[in-house]
Amino acid sequence: MMVRNREKGIAIAGPEANCRVLVADDQPHILAAVELLLRPEGMEVECVRSPQMLLEALGDGEFDVLLMDLNYARDTTSGREGLDLLERIREIDAQLPVIVMTAWANIDLAVESIKRGARDFIQKPWDNERMVAVVKVYAELRRALRRARQLEMENRMLRGEGMPDFIAGAPSMQPVLELIAQVGPSDANVLITGEHGTGKEIVAKLLHASSPRARMPLVAVNAGGLPEGTFESEIFGHVKGAFTDARADRVGRFELAHGGTMFLDEIANVPLRQQAKLLRVLETGELERVGSSHTRSVDVRVLCATNADLHAEAKSGGFREDLLFRINTIEIHLPPLRERREDIPALAMHFLNRNRARYRRQVSGFSTAAMEQMLQYGWPGNVRELEHAVERALLLCRDEEIQSAHLSVGAQRGSATSFESMSIEDVEAVLIRKVMRRCEGNVTRAAESLGISRAALYRRIEKYGL
């Protein structure tokens, strides 16, 4: 077992840990007493002395029980600080058992803390046997619920109930699968990162399908494709007469997602002015439609995706740091296809089978040369480009197997002689692919090179399946 103290930076060896307990109190002697009480019981204890350190600890790791004081400011006895903190904790992990403790116990404060999400209440000075018993009971309950959710998700994935197709056998994809299994059943906000075409939307669908909100809507919004002038109306809705073209009330995407999940793709492209309004909804669950002063409450889990480095964007002032903290409770990074080449054969056959029925083609598979070409190609457009290449090859193929010539990838694509037989749209797709490859997937630099806006480039990327 390991007992950690964030303030002192020490670690004390002990027996093998049975559960992880986070203890929050502003009094060092209280922390020491709880630590000495729980450590011999085989528990791993982490101690913090402020609300900020408590929230940081919850963001860094997972705990079975939180034991927290209700008062932190000097000479404060109302418990108000701790009660407000309970709501923040519920936003991070609604299933975490919280046991509150205070030296100024009364029935009203106990009832209020339970209303805010606490599971139990301990008065200082405490009875040692009762504290140990209470912590053990809730720790075991937490682990049992976690095991049940894990088993439920595994069973649903095996049965394929509500799950999108997700092929991920490569070793580099195993951490992704583990994170999906762990955070899917929760209400945690998740930031999904990775290059264009790596499957971020599929991961969002998996997270939604494995959550308690699976029977409610998943509302997807391409933030990169929304002009700044219409962003607020699309996301929050508007009332009749709010602006020139507002001829009727309109429900925004957040209200449509009430009780379910909102997926904000290309979150880095949200204008700074709108980021503040988005942050307010995430913090309070409240919004106003454009042109209205009536506040509406929404219950929405938010999943976001981006190919940008939001931490760098936040440092440069291009993205609000507080919004980043709010959407980044958990980050799932998807590796590019070139780092998971083991999945290419299975992905290629999956796309072939799906399109074979759609186009009524009797193509059995890929020639050895064609498969070797796919394995060697760099796939700058990742899984989306592979899907597009297989679909195109199937349409061009007149043999029993797809040949290298049908794939049009690598050196063959965009050669000088091939442009003569290509449409304007095909030429544009080739040009965008080349520029994106040269810019290493950076949409902002690629848009500048092409002389178009980021939103326009996003629309073309989606249009051409890049």
Mean pLDDT, consecutive 10-residue stretches, the chain (466 aa), reads 37 48 90 92 90 83 86 64 81 83 69 81 86 88 71 54 73 92 91 93 92 89 78 86 78 89 92 89 89 86 93 91 92 94 92 88 89 90 91 89 84 44 69 80 80 79 72
Tokens of 420: 């003569």
Q: What is the structure's pLDDT at 449?
A: 80
- Half-sphere exposure for 69 (CA within 13 Å, toward CB): 25
Tokens of 143: 């682990």
Tokens of 205: 């669908």
Q: Is residue 57 part of a domain?
A: yes
Q: Is residue 159 part of a domain?
A: no
Residue found by looking up tokens 């629309």 in the block: 459
Tokens of 199: 């499957």
Q: Is residue 35 part of a domain?
A: yes
Strand boundaries in 244-339, DSSP class E: 250-251, 261-265, 286-287, 296-297, 301-306, 330-333
CATH number at residue 256: 3.40.50.300
Q: Is residue 154 part of a domain?
A: no
Q: Is residue 350 part of a domain?
A: yes
Tokens of 394: 């199937």
Do 190 and 213 lie in one domain? The reply is yes
Residue found by looking up tokens 């056998």 in the block: 169
Q: Is residue 283 part of a domain?
A: yes
Do 113 and 214 lie in one domain? The reply is no
Do 347 and 297 lie in one domain? The reply is no
Q: Is residue 64 part of a domain?
A: yes
Do 318 and 395 lie in one domain? The reply is no
Do 313 and 204 lie in one domain? The reply is yes
Residue span of the structural domain in which 403 resides:
337-463
Do 352 and 457 lie in one domain? The reply is yes
What is the value of pTM for the model shown? 0.58
Do 14 and 126 lie in one domain? The reply is yes
Q: What is the structure's pLDDT at 11?
A: 31
Alpha helix (H) residue ranges in 336-423: 344-359, 368-376, 382-396, 404-407
How many structural domains comprise the chain?
3
Do 355 and 401 lie in one domain? The reply is yes
Do 207 and 177 lie in one domain? The reply is yes
Q: Is residue 156 part of a domain?
A: no
Is the Cβ–Cβ distance between 288 and 236 less than 8 Å? yes
Neighbour count for residue 413 (Cβ, 10 Å): 16
* Domain end position, chosen among 298, 333, 368: 333
The length of the chain is 466
Do 327 and 352 lie in one domain? The reply is no
Q: What is the structure's pLDDT at 163?
A: 58
Which run of H or E residues covers position 366? strand 365-366
Tokens of 360: 């009524």
Do 358 and 283 lie in one domain? The reply is no
* Domain end position, chosen among 333, 359, 391: 333
